[in-house]
Amino acid sequence: MQGWETQGSGLFRGRISLFKPALKYLDKQDTVAVAHWCDNGQSKLDLLPTTNVEEAATTLEQVLAPTLNPDDHNRPGELALQKTLHLIVDATRSSEPEPLPVVIFLYGDWSGMPRAEADHFIDELLETSAIAFGLKDRRSPHMWWLPGEQKEVAHYIATETGGQYLVVTPETYAMGLGEILQQLHGRYELGSRPEALDGKRHKLRVKLADAVKTSTKECV
């Protein structure tokens, strides 16, 4: 949007090529996709999952190119983000075999949303085993508080799904993305089968056996 070319997502405009060195961490079976939302209410899956990384980079630059000036920077943008998350979940569930979705926000995260609404979409993402990460340019403004709402929604989604939000500079764009991709390829999941499906989130507490604790200390 107008005036944000030097803030938020606008800082990534014209610099997507700086991320390319990190793409060496992608595996052959990995696919990439592009989606966006805007404060004018616009929401779109711009590129469906593909192994063509160059096409994804080109699409990202095309998405970042326009400058808009919406009349309302609040509710339309919140609803557009929600719609984009819906589109991502729907695309994941319609794929065969169903992939493990990873959302990486390129976003300064000057955002807010009622906590209940944010939690609803986090639950939907978790049902697909999704994990969210984010990259924020260090020059983006920081939101200290937002009365009555969950501030920095993308940060909140990343934390609640087990991901991270990294602060980067143009010199470290590739390093940040590379760190995320390496984490993803080195991850594993622990889970349990509940006695009854109640549609709620539950916390799992993992305790290491004494022998494992000793082994871990020796490795460190």
> What is 8-219's CATH superfamily?
von Willebrand factor, type A domain (3.40.50.410)
pLDDT of residue 169: 96
Question: The tokens 């594993």 sit on which residue?
Answer: 188
d(Cα 70, Cα 73) in Å, to the nearest integer? 7
pLDDT, greater one: 213 or 80: 80
Q: What is the residue-averaged pLDDT of the chain?
A: 87
Per-residue pLDDT tens digits for 71-83: 655 688 899 999 9
pLDDT, greater one: 20 or 68: 20
Question: The tokens 């955002």 sit on which residue?
Answer: 111
Nearest Cα neighbor of 121 from 95, 143, 150, 164 is 150
* Identity of residue 44: K
Query: Looking at the predicted structure, is the pLDDT value of residue 91 above 70?
Result: yes
pLDDT of residue 16: 96
Q: 50, 56 in Cβ contact below 8 A? A: yes
Out of 29-43, 71-85, 109-123, which region has the weakest mean confidence (pLDDT)?
71-85
pLDDT of residue 5: 61
Q: Percent of the chain having pLDDT more than 70? A: 89
Which pTM does this prediction carry? 0.84
Residues 6+ apart with CB under 8 A from 214: none
Query: Looking at the predicted structure, is the pLDDT value of residue 209 above 70?
Result: yes
Per-residue pLDDT tens digits for 60-69: 999 998 877 6
pLDDT band at 40 (very low <50, low <70, confident <90, very high): confident
Provide DSSP, 52-79. -HHHHHHHHHHHHS-----S-SSHHHHH
Query: Looking at the predicted structure, is the pLDDT value of residue 220 above 50?
Result: no
pLDDT of residue 136: 96
d(Cα 77, Cα 113) in Å, to the nearest integer? 10
pLDDT, greater one: 175 or 144: 175
Q: Residue 59: is it exposed, middle or buried by C-beta count within 10 angstroms (0-12/13-18/19+)?
A: buried
pLDDT, greater one: 194 or 127: 127
d(Cα 80, Cα 87) in Å, to the nearest integer? 10
pLDDT of residue 206: 79
